[in-house]
Amino acid sequence: MKDIIIDIEDVSMHFRKGSEKVDSFKQYMIKKLKKEIKYDIYKALNGISLQIYKGEVVGFVGLNGAGKSTLLKVVAGVQNPTSGSITVKGKVSPLLELGAGFDNELTGRENIYLNGLILGYSKEFINDNMDNIIEFAEVRDFIDTPIKNYSSGMRARLGFSIATIKEPDILIVDEVLSVGDGKFRAKSEKRMLDLIDSNATVLFVSHSIDQIRRLCSKVVWIEKGRVKMIGDTNEICDSYEQHLTD
């Protein structure tokens, strides 16, 4: 029997959002002082329970705003759920947003050290793998340039290269494989397949259903903050694509 590596139990994430229009900061402060600001509760996640086993490659599908990215942020520890619990066994390498965690004033090389240390790499390991990280990301000509001058694609390639240079226990990927040209997408997908072969656990969000079909062993369909369906990749993808055309 496979080991459970991520156990999500009845997780909800609620946000407050203003329910009325306030035209100026002054008006906002007056209403706030009078305690007249009204809020609606937005339920990004609503009672999600899910178990993910070691070595699984789990795809997440759903419309924009369904809650996929919020769920992955909660699993990664970036956000704390409003209620429920998550147990994660292993080191998580999250690739959630393009260039998340980069310092814009530092160079690409300096950001490799910064991100690598955040991911738990030793300085010696980073030094030994610096050239491999730079070459995979295809940023050799810009590596000593401040990262604020990088395009979003360059930032994403560098972030992906840093996060995957060492086999993680759990890799969380949110739309990152959709950046770059066809050559880089094929290269990053190949690295994903290598991680899969090494028995890493991967949580993967993509709007490319073809990519989900190629990479994932199981698919979770999220709709309005809840799990609508979970199961065999082709079965869930077929149902989801049918739903999009209805």
pLDDT tens column, 32-71: 666 666 667 788 999 999 999 999 999 999 999 999 989 9
Specify the pLDDT at position 83.
95
Domain locations along the chain:
1-15+44-91+168-246, 102-165
Query: Please, are residues 214 and 189 in contact by the beta-carbon 8 Å criterion?
Result: yes
> Which position has the higher pLDDT, 185 or 133?
133
What's at 151, amino acid-wise? S
Specify the pLDDT at position 86.
95
> Average pLDDT, stretch 23-33?
64
pLDDT tens column, 80-121: 999 999 999 988 887 766 556 799 999 999 999 998 998 889
Specify the pLDDT at position 30.
64
Specify the pLDDT at position 207.
84
* 3-class SS of residue 235: helix
Residue-by-residue DSSP string for 172-202: EEESGGGSS-HHHHHHHHHHHHHHHHTT-EE
Token pair of 245 as six digits: 């055309």
Q: How, if at all, do strands 226-231 and 218-223 pair?
A: antiparallel
Specify the pLDDT at position 232.
95
Crossing angle of helices 182-197 and 152-164, in 10° steps, is 20
Q: In what order do the strands lie in the sheet with 218-223?
A: 92-95, 170-174, 201-205, 57-61, 218-223, 226-231
Architecture of domain 1-15+44-91+168-246: 3-Layer(aba) Sandwich (3.40)
What is the pLDDT confidence band of residue 209, given thresholds at 50, 70 and 90?
A: very high
pLDDT tens column, 211-223: 899 889 999 999 9
Asked whether residue 25 carries a pLDDT value surpassing 70, the answer given is: no
Residues with Cβ < 8 Å from 194, sequence gap 6 or more?
none
pLDDT tens column, 145-204: 999 999 888 888 898 899 889 888 898 888 766 656 678 878 887 887 888 788 889 998
Query: Please, are residues 40 and 19 in contact by the beta-carbon 8 Å criterion?
Result: yes
